[in-house]
Amino acid sequence: MKANTQILVVLFAALSMLTTATTSAQPIVPNYSIQNHALTLAFDLDQHTITASDQISLKREIKKPESFSFLLNKALEVLSVEFQEVEIAWSEDAFPDPAHYETKVDSEDVNYYGRTKEITIVIPEDLRKEKEPLLLISYRGMLHDEVESNQFSREYVTDKINAYIGKEGVYLGPAAIFYPALSRQLFSFTLTTKIAEPYRTVTEGERTEWIAADGILSETWICNHPMDAIHLVAGQYQVEEIEHDGIRLATYFYAEQSELSPMYLEALKGYFDLYTDILGPYPYAKFAVVDNFFASGYGMPSYTLLGSQVLRLPFIVRTSLGHEVCHNWWGNSVYVDSETGNWCEGLTTYCADYLYKEQKSLDDAKEYRSTVMRDYTAYTNAGNDFPLVRFRERHNPAQRAVGYGKSAMLYHMLRRYVGEEDFWRSLKRFYNDNVWTYASWGDVQKAFEKETALKLSWFFDQWVNQTGAPSFTIENWQKSKIEGAWKISFTLNQTQNGLPYMLDVPVLVTGSSQTAHLQTTLSDTSQIVTLQTIFEPTGFSVDPDFEVFRRLDPSETPPTLADVFGKGQLTIVLPGLIAPEFQEAYASLANELRPHGGGTVTTIVNDYETTPAEIESGAVIFLGSPAENQAIPADWLDGNQWRVNDSGFLLADKSFTDFNNTLVAAGRHPDNLNIATAFIIVKHAPDALVIGRKLRHYGKYSYLVFQSESNVAKGLWKISDSPLSVQF
């Protein structure tokens, strides 16, 4: 697929289901490669159109090429074509064959090439000897996607916007094919924009000219580094900028967000200090935070595009902003060879989101690792799991759990294996060896092997090429007194399907007043572990801090909404003993709770029609209180940490009595922990649908309370024991 360096924020971080790529015939090698674009774009915001010209510097790749083909958006009309200043004819194919451009073709490619047409020119015979000819193409057309249906969140990305030109602003991504393109081309560019004042434009690179005349602003941007895509945005921005260690830091905000600028600029300074220290010099001359008129969280080389509502979220400055800064090392200057797997989302997540938690406290870092594994356990199964080598981008929670979560944990385990200094030194080497070119998982492995002098094929093979994750059980534990010490032994099993993993597994041994942090190497399906301590052990725990990526046992973690939404089968039970105004509210809520993609089979039934089989498999959501929903088994409520009474809800010893409260509580079947449950009790009928639309963004929580449409309480239930912990 055409390279696209637009990176998604992890929070909304957090983009159709991943389908198995099919191998095609070897793609046709282009007769010419694109070296540089000299692009001019003039915008008519009322008509949603651009008028464009692009002088392309080509490099001949074969001897005396007879023709040259490239891609352009179907909506753009070609006006003229010149080759070495000679006007020539062209032909158009409205249905280009992706196999001419890709070694593998999947659903992403089908969508991309479906928006393109192929332009082919015949090279005049007397010009076929030119090694570096110039191609000039002029074109125009309307680019105007619908933005109202765009949804962007940590869990899902749907109805992705590719191109929009209008009074609200401009967004042109490489998936809009708004300039002549070829697959897997790295090029430099000069881009001149002409747009009505007071609009301002932003793109990759550095602005070198700015001329305003007769109500039109002309801006010229130059990027001399090899790029794999061009993104262009425009809006009625107020621009603030500072210089920090030779880098121009800027905000392009609409007036409504302008007061946020000082906070963002100050935060940027801290992030650049951090990353230039641990990763190396920043590769660009600027970094800008740019406001957007539709929901987005995108990261491009040298800037990030955040929706207006996203900018105002209090945690964005502390987390997601740094994630986008980090992407300028990973993904936006070392590019992703996506046909061999996307290595950069996990690496950026680890160097940003995870690292910030680690800097805060060890407990926060542990909780982050635990959440990664909870999400993976909840959202992936035999039907939707896949190896990292097949990850390209995310559209749903299962893809996020693998491409971001599992990948981030790969780097964590690699760091533990090679050591702190070698890890960060290897990352610097990976960057220096691959900046301004495409890199693969193989290049990551190569950099670490060169820097550490270790053979790491086994590590990358099991974590990158293999689907799934290990699962642990323990049995046959005992302790004994030996001369001058104590010995504990137990059998540690890997219970997943397939080959066993090679793992370094931490074991925490506890005594009455002492602890010992030990480690065992595990390489078999079943292995006897023997450890010694100088104190008498009172118990031990296997991987209590979640250092090894694995599929968790349900009793290791509290139940969450992710457990419910991640199951392959979901039953939603409607309450029957409710007032008429709630019947429509709960019916709308049930339809909203249907999973968007992911292969989940959803059944909606009335409580009086529910069969035991429907609530004894997969996941079940009960709507309404126990008094309103006759299908709720009484024994499923025993031991729950929430209650309903005449005045409202009692939740974790706190009372919620507001008339407009809504309770959402996750649980598990009392006799089968693999069956996930949730209870949703709405007190104010008009709130049901709006709250339903929000719930998928709260997948990591066990309980929620909403007051009207605002979340006022959220958290995780406490767990009392783990199957990987033993008390003697």
407-418 and 441-452 helices, crossing angle to 10°: 10
pLDDT score recorded for residue 148? 66
Per CATH, is 18-236 categorized as 2.60.40.1730? yes
Beta bridge partner(s), residue 662: 682, 706
Structure confidence at residue 111 (pLDDT): 85
Peptide bond into 595 cis (omega under 30): no
173 or 11: which leads in pLDDT: 173
Amino acid at 510: T
In angstroms, rounded to a whole number, what is the distance separating the alpha carbons of residues 405 and 379? 11
Query: With contact defined as beta carbons under 8 Å apart, do 237 and 254 qualify?
Result: yes
Single-letter residue type at 67: S
| Domain 335-465, CATH homologous superfamily name and number | Neutral Protease Domain 2 (1.10.390.10)
Q: Is the pLDDT of residue 470 over 80?
A: yes
For the chain, what percent of residues have pLDDT higher than 90?
74
Between the alpha carbon of residue 98 and those of residues 32, 275, 282, 335, the distances in Å are: 18, 38, 35, 21
Task: Calculate mean pLDDT across residues 192-205.
Answer: 97
Amino acid 631: pLDDT: 93
Judge whether 96 and 117 are in contact, CB under 8 Å: yes
Tens digits of residue pLDDT in 595-646: 765 567 889 999 999 888 888 888 999 999 999 999 998 888 866 788 888 7
Q: How far apart are CA 137 and CA 120, in angstroms?
A: 12
18-236 matches 472-552 in fold: yes
Say yes or no to pLDDT of 592 above 60: yes
Q: How far apart are CA 401 and CA 697, in angstroms?
A: 14
Binned at pLDDT 50, 70 and 90, residue 149 comes out as low
Summarize the confidence of residues 148-176 as an average pLDDT.
Answer: 76
Architecture field, domain 472-552: Sandwich (2.60)
Whether 459 has a pLDDT exceeding 90, the answer reads yes
Question: Which pair of tokens denotes residue 618?
Answer: 């997969």
Class of domain 561-715: alpha beta
What is the rounded distance in angstroms from the CA atom of residue 322 to the CA atom of residue 337? 23
From 132-146, 225-239, 433-447, 644-658, the region with the lowest mean pLDDT: 644-658
Three-state secondary structure readout of 287-339 = EEEEEECCCCEEEECCEEEEEHHHHCCCCCCCCHHHHHHHCCCECCCEEECHH
pLDDT at 317 over 60: yes
Q: What is the pLDDT of residues 535-586, one digit of tens each?
A: 999 999 999 999 999 999 988 888 899 889 888 889 999 999 998 889 999 9
Residue 333 in tokens: 């200057």
**What is the number of other CB atoms lying within 10 angstroms of the CB of residue 492?**
23
The pLDDT of residue 26 is: 56
Q: Which residue has the higher pLDDT, 148 or 728?
A: 728
CB-count exposure of residue 133 (10 Å: 0-12, 13-18, 19+) = buried
Alpha helical stretches, state H, 244-302: 261-278
Over 80: is that where the pLDDT of 341 sits? yes
**pLDDT interval class at 28 (50, 70, 90):** low
Q: Which of 218-222, 278-282, 698-702 has the lowest mean pLDDT?
A: 698-702
The structural domains of the chain, with segments of one domain joined by +, span 18-236, 335-465, 472-552, 561-715
* Residue 626 C-alpha from the chain's centroid: 38
- In tens, the pLDDT along 510-541 reads 999 999 999 999 999 999 999 999 999 999 99
Q: Mean pLDDT across the chain, nearest whole number?
A: 91
Determine if residue 264 is left, alpha or beta; phi over 0 gives left, psi from -120 to 50 gives alpha, anything else beta: alpha
Pairing of strands 335-336, 438-439: parallel
Report percent pLDDT > 70 for the chain.
93
Reduce the secondary structure of 382-414 to three states and give it as a string. Answer: CCCCCCHHHCCCCCCHHHHHHHHHHHHHHHHHH
The count of other CB atoms within 10 Å of the CB of residue 435 is: 17
pLDDT in the model for residue 27: 60
CA of 16: how far to CAs of 106, 377, 493, 598, 616, in Å? 11, 21, 36, 9, 30
Q: What angle do CA 670, 671, 673 make, to 5 degrees?
A: 75
